[in-house]
Amino acid sequence: MSQAFAKVARPRRLPDEIADRMAEAIRAGELRPGDKLPSEPSLATRFGVARSVLREAISQLRYDGLIEARQGVGAFIADPRSRSAFRIGPACFKKRQELLKLLQLRSGVSVEAATLAATARRPEHLAALEDCLDAMRAAIVRGMEGAAARVDAELRFYSTVAAASGNEYLEEFLSVLENRILSELHSVAVKNAMASEWSERVVGEHKAVLVSIRDMDPEAAHDAARRHFERAAKRLADRTDIADV
Amino acid sequence: MSQAFAKVARPRRLPDEIADRMAEAIRAGELRPGDKLPSEPSLATRFGVARSVLREAISQLRYDGLIEARQGVGAFIADPRSRSAFRIGPACFKKRQELLKLLQLRSGVSVEAATLAATARRPEHLAALEDCLDAMRAAIVRGMEGAAARVDAELRFYSTVAAASGNEYLEEFLSVLENRILSELHSVAVKNAMASEWSERVVGEHKAVLVSIRDMDPEAAHDAARRHFERAAKRLADRTDIADV
DNA sequence: AGATGTTCGGTTGTCTGACAACATGATTGC
DNA sequence: GCAATCATGTTGTCAGACAACCGAACATCT
């Protein structure tokens, strides 16, 4: 029922559509580095769109470093080494396995953030972290309907840890990662699944991270964060009731 | 003299220029989420460019999730939560501190990759890793002029580790990260600096990672990789001869 | 012959103007 | 009052033109 009123898919815009197709072709290896693209007018007629549309598509690909265009010469598939952006497309969420891989990435970054936070944290970070723990506890006593709040609190907890690390790249990357994971997984069912095994014991895992950061003990923070993510991965892997949407 | 003949900076393209400026304004908080942008014709005249140019700029910002445009309504600064790409601009390399932060990010991801590789690795990965170690050793005996080769071999080593982890997101992200770091730091001087303290002992750090992965011992791989990056960071931090370009 | 200038065709970069698709609010008709 | 309609402003797309630029072939000079 809640699915019936889900957001309707907006018709995609032409440049995005074309950019996606070309990016796919490049990543799949159909177009190889150094290859010269057909001229813009030619490509435009081949795709059946105006040149301005095709230019917008190529502009996006150039932005990510997938294509290199030289005025007066042509456009070429760029060397993979010149890619300048890490992008998480909607294609990443087709299978549960993909989600697990993204969580692994998140885990690595978060653990590093916790380690660094233990030396760079300032008092205001500690207060914010305490707040997150309180929010978790409050959400737990609310039972099932508090599941979403629990997940949000955890995300905020690690965002704060990243902020406390003093490394804005860690912070921004984690933010992108979490937001993408969350925006694709907004179904309450999955939130429930992620939070189902939660209990005061899980809050304890987070508290261990907080305590280590407070005591400025990087090694302990590292271990505590790592332990939490390891257990979280295990909890998620054990659940078989998450549909492979 | 060699500076006089350095590559001349190519004039930037208008859409990129505009996109950069607007992105900067958004990140700096001058434009806040939810704000409505002026209409395209208005913005175009304000920037003094044609609407097609401005549209290409906006197209790039939309691509990263910084702007949300709705036909018939207008364009708005998007919620920060909807950012879909992590981008490493050239601005990241102004100061050595920035480089250190990127290396921290790299470290976290690499350590996670090594941990996972210890369970997912296949025989061909081991062979590739051995090759990298051999390349390092061969570069070391060549002394100074082998410095670039040493750095390349180390990068390839951890790219291979990421590949062995079976997690293509880890692999791709690390690839983007390393390529950006390297492409901005191509000066041989810095390569030398990074490699200056190298010796058979440093190769030993990598060998420890390889052995743990071979023996399928995730904990040992984790510790070995972490130890290496910690020492690498220390080695780099100790050097004061790297100019703050 | 070799180096230097010139022309030419093709490609990307930019500009201009127009129309289509769409959303919102005001107007009209009942 | 209320629904349908229209007017207006915005983004999306299209079409054509010219400018800037590059590479190669050609012409010219020493």
**pLDDT per position as a tens digit, B174-199:** 999 988 887 766 665 555 555 566 56
Which residue of chain B has the CA closest to A111?
Answer: B108
Q: What percent of chain A has pLDDT over 90?
A: 55
Give me the pLDDT at residue A50, please: 96
Answer yes or no: is pLDDT of B241 > 80: no
Count of CB atoms situated within 10 Å of the CB of B88: 22
Q: What percent of chain B has pLDDT over 70?
A: 83
Pick the residue with more confidence: B188 or A123? A123
> How far is Cα A108 from Cα B142, in angstroms, rounded to an integer?
35
Compute, in degrees rounded to 10, the torsion defined by CA atoms B12, B13, B16, B17: 60
User: CA of B130, closest CA in chain A: separation in Å?
Assistant: 23
**Beta bridge pairs of residue A67:** A77
List the A61 CA – D24 C1' distance (angstroms): 29
Give me the pLDDT at residue B127, please: 92
| Phi and psi at residue B162, to the nearest 5° | -60, -40
Decide: helix, strand or coil at residue A121: coil
Sorting pLDDT into bands at 50, 70 and 90, what band is B97?
Answer: confident
Q: With beta carbons less than 8 A apart as the criterion, state whether B133 and B213 touch.
A: no
Q: With beta carbons less than 8 A apart as the criterion, state whether A170 and B108 touch.
A: yes
In chain A, residues with a C-beta closer than 8 Å to the C-beta of B113 are 108
In chain B, residues with a C-beta closer than 8 Å to the C-beta of A84 are 87-89, 176, 180
Give me the pLDDT at residue A173, please: 94
Q: With beta carbons less than 8 A apart as the criterion, state whether B152 and B188 touch.
A: no
Give me the pLDDT at residue A231, please: 86
User: HSE (CB half, 13 Å, CA atoms) of A185?
Assistant: 28
Pick the residue with more confidence: A3 or B16? B16
Q: Which residue, among B71, B74, B70, B89, has the nearest Cα to B27 in the 3D structure? A: B89
List the A177 CA – C13 C1' distance (angstroms): 35
Q: How far is CA A147 from CA A1, A164, A217, A238, in A?
A: 19, 26, 31, 18
Answer yes or no: is pLDDT of A2 > 50: no
| Phi and psi at residue B215, to the nearest 5° | -80, 5
Alpha helices in chain B (DSSP H): 14-27, 40-47, 51-63, 96-120, 123-141, 147-164, 168-184, 188-195, 200-214, 218-238
Q: With beta carbons less than 8 A apart as the criterion, state whether A168 and A231 touch.
A: no
Q: Which residue, among A220, A189, A227, A229, has the nearest Cα to A106 in the 3D structure? A: A229
Nucleotide nearest to A53 (CA to C1'): D13
* Contacts of A240 by beta carbon, 8 Å cutoff, 6+ apart: none
Sorting pLDDT into bands at 50, 70 and 90, what band is A160?
Answer: very high
Give me the pLDDT at residue A201, please: 77
Decide: helix, strand or coil at residue B56: helix
Tokens of A65: 């470093």
Least confident range from A8-22, A181-195, B195-209: namely: A181-195
**Beta bridge pairs of residue B70:** B74
User: CA of B100, closest CA in chain A: separation in Å?
Assistant: 9
Answer yes or no: is pLDDT of B244 > 80: no
**Average pLDDT across chain B, whole number:** 85
Residue B58 Cβ under 7 A from any strand D atom: yes
| pLDDT tens digits, one per residue of A50-80 | 999 999 999 999 999 999 999 999 999 999 8
Give me the pLDDT at residue B245, please: 43
* Contacts of A106 by beta carbon, 8 Å cutoff, 6+ apart: A174, A177, A178, A181, A229
Q: Which residue, among B93, B92, B96, B95, has the nearest Cα to B237 in the 3D structure? A: B96
Q: Which of A2-11, A210-219, B148-157 has the highest mean pLDDT?
A: A210-219
Tell me whether residues A180 and B84 touch, CB distance under 8 A. Answer: yes
In chain B, residues with a C-beta closer than 8 Å to the C-beta of A105 are 109, 112, 167, 169-170, 173
In whole angstroms, what separates CA A220 from the centre of its chain?
26
The arithmetic mean of pLDDT across residues A195-222, rounded, is: 84
Which run of H or of E encompasses A87?
strand A85-87
Nucleotide nearest to B68 (CA to C1'): D11
Q: With beta carbons less than 8 A apart as the criterion, state whether A170 and A116 touch.
A: yes
Tokens of B74: 């207008």
Give me the pLDDT at residue B226, please: 94
Answer yes or no: is pLDDT of A158 > 50: yes
> How far is Cα A76 from Cα A178, in angstroms, rounded to an integer?
34
Decide: helix, strand or coil at residue A77: strand
Residue A45 Cβ under 7 A from any strand D atom: no
Give me the pLDDT at residue A111, please: 95
Indicate the pTM of the whole model.
Answer: 0.85
Q: Which residue, among B87, B230, B158, B108, has the nearest Cα to A110 in the 3D structure? A: B108
List the A66 CA – C18 C1' distance (angstroms): 33
Answer yes or no: is pLDDT of B80 > 70: yes
Sorting pLDDT into bands at 50, 70 and 90, what band is A245?
Answer: very low
Q: What is the DSSP letter of A36?
A: B
The arithmetic mean of pLDDT across residues A24-34, rounded, is: 91
The arithmetic mean of pLDDT across residues B110-123, rounded, is: 94
Residue B11 Cβ under 7 A from any strand C atom: no
Q: With beta carbons less than 8 A apart as the criterion, state whether B104 and A222 touch.
A: no
Facing residue for A172 by CB, picked from B86, B175, B222: B86
Q: With beta carbons less than 8 A apart as the criterion, state whether A167 and A227 touch.
A: no
Answer yes or no: is pLDDT of B18 > 60: yes
Q: Which of A85-89, B5-9, B137-141, B184-188 has the highest mean pLDDT?
A: A85-89
Count of CB atoms situated within 10 Å of the CB of B142: 11
List the A52 CA – C14 C1' distance (angstroms): 11
Give me the pLDDT at residue A195, please: 56
Burial A156-184 (b: 16+ CB within 10 A, else e): bbbbbbbbbbbbebbbbbbbbbbbbbebb
Tokens of B102: 């990127």
Q: With beta carbons less than 8 A apart as the criterion, state whether A100 and A149 touch.
A: no
Decide: helix, strand or coil at residue B77: strand
Compute, in degrees rounded to 10, the torsion defined by CA atoms A214, A218, A220, A225: 90
> How far is Cα B6 from Cα A238, in angstroms, rounded to an integer?
58
Tokens of B167: 């997690």
Give me the pLDDT at residue A1, please: 46
Q: What percent of chain B has pLDDT over 90?
A: 55
> How far is Cα B20 from Cα A55, in angstroms, rounded to an integer?
18
End-to-end CA distance of chain B: 19
**Average pLDDT across chain A, whole number:** 84
In chain B, residues with a C-beta closer than 8 Å to the C-beta of A179 are 80-83
Decide: helix, strand or coil at residue B68: strand
